[in-house]
Chain A
Amino acid sequence: MNYVFEILPSLFSGAGMTLEIFFETLIFSLPLGVILSFGLNSRFKPLKWFLNVYVWLMRGTPLLLQLIFVFYGLPIIGLTFPRYMAAIVAFVLNYTAYFAEIFRGGNQAIDKGQIEAAKVLQLTYGQTLRKIVIPQVIKIVLPSIGNEVINLVKDSSLVYVIGLGDLLRAGNLATSRDVTLVPLVLVALIYLLLIGLCTVILRKLEKHYSYYR
């Protein structure tokens, strides 16, 4: 038990890094995903083509590889990021692609009649998006977004590859130093706790949007 209390502070500080990456990635990639989803549905072919290539690259290569490229590869063309920034850039680029695809699907699920009804009621395009389309899209995409959010908690452990100390790395260090699996069991418990929390919040959100069908 004493041992547990001994290593907990280092695990918590690792969990802090995990949470920082988690929140910062969401703050940037969710809105960016919404914006790009409109581009993916755009009638302007070059934009659509460019975004499709971007999504293909991001979904078509491992996030681990993308992290390495952003941190070790981009400096070759003169773009150098500090470790933490590199991690955020890679995560935001990757998650934006997934979110954009999810929102694109959500946009397509909105009945065209909704937009026509808004048009004959003289709503502007922006008002239609804000009051009609986006609220309905959020309800549709919430379960898929929830999946990605939960993945993000665990994906954040990949940052060890560019030398950042997150939760899993803290546990790994303690395990190899003290030759015991206890730290990794604690790591698993902390992940479960974080994801349990995410799940509860997502359920609450889904419930909030269940006031209509």
Chain B
Amino acid sequence: MLEVSNLAKSFGNRQILKNISFTLADGEILTVVGPSGAGKTTLLRIIAGLETADAGTMTLGGQTYQLSGEDRGAVGVVFQDFNLFPNLSVIDNITLAPQLALKKDKAEAEKEARELLGKLQMADKGNLYPYQLSGGQKQRVAIARALAMQPKMLCYDEPTSALDPALRDQVAELILSLKDSGLTQLIITHDMDFAKKVADQVLEVKPLEG
């Protein structure tokens, strides 16, 4: 279960987020919607440990975090522009962290990576480099890379923004199929249709006055 309570964040004297609290059961999907500049991405970055919060706590899988940027291995992130490592092949993108951080041996990490790629219909793409992939394929590599770390939860930043509309439904399906496998997911989006399609819960973030 993910529980966020009383999260607040300012940049300088501009308050971005205030009193953000929500609870998300295991295997559920929360979409965070709101206009640009409302702090959606900031919220994701705080939950992922890339940004510190001014106040608030987060509990995930029984562990409580003070949101001060501490290591948060249990949260995977699929970035808006994916941030794949261009110097590494698809397989190496996926197996790098399991080998270095989880100390898995190469053969085991590669076997798991190939299984993940198979599930994402990318089985034949393992030896390509990111520049050789389409946007949708890059996104699936980014998802596989995050899943290879066995996160308790996966966060997406605007997963539909870099894709053409036809791919939108495919992403929705993919996200729902991951939900079936029990993964908790948090999705930042400004696409209301998409948000309603996949969400168990919708959190609306509004720009704060002043």
Contact = CB atoms under 8 A, between A and B. Distances in A.
Given A113-B79, A127-B100, A136-B87, A120 B130 contact: no
A116 B97 CA distance: 13
A211 B127 CA distance: 12
B129 A211 contact: yes
A125 to B, nearest CB: 12
Interface in B98-140: 100-101, 129-131
A117 interface: yes
Contacts of A135: 87
B85 A122 contact: no
A84 to B, nearest CB: 39
B131 A122 contact: no
Nearest to B73: A122
Contacts of B75: 120
Tell me whether chain B's interface is mostly helix, strand or loop, or mixed. loop
A212 B131 contact: yes
A122 B96 CA distance: 10
B46 interface: no
Contact of A113 (B49, B83, B97): B83
A213 B81 contact: no
Contacts of B71: 122
Contacts of A120: 48-50, 72, 75-77, 146
A164 to B, nearest CB: 41
A200 interface: no
Contacts of A13: none
A131 interface: yes
Contacts of B81: 113
A132 B50 CA distance: 18
A117 B79 CA distance: 8
A123 B49 contact: no
Given A212-B129, A212-B131, A119 B83 contact: no
A131 B100 contact: yes
Interface string A4-47: 00000000000000000000000000000000000000000000
Contacts of A114: 83, 85
B40 interface: no
A1 to B, nearest CB: 52
A121 interface: yes
Interface in B67-100: 71-73, 75-77, 79, 81, 83-88, 96-97, 100
Interface string A115-145: 0111111111001000110011001000000
Contact of A121 (B86, B97, B129, B130): B97
Contacts of A178: none
B152 interface: no
B149 A122 contact: yes
17 contacts: A114-B83, A116-B79, A117-B77, A118-B97, A119-B49, A120-B48, A120-B49, A120-B75, A121-B97, A122-B71, A122-B101, A123-B96, A123-B101, A131-B88, A132-B85, A132-B87, A213-B86
Interface of A: 111, 113-114, 116-124, 127, 131-132, 135-136, 139, 211-213
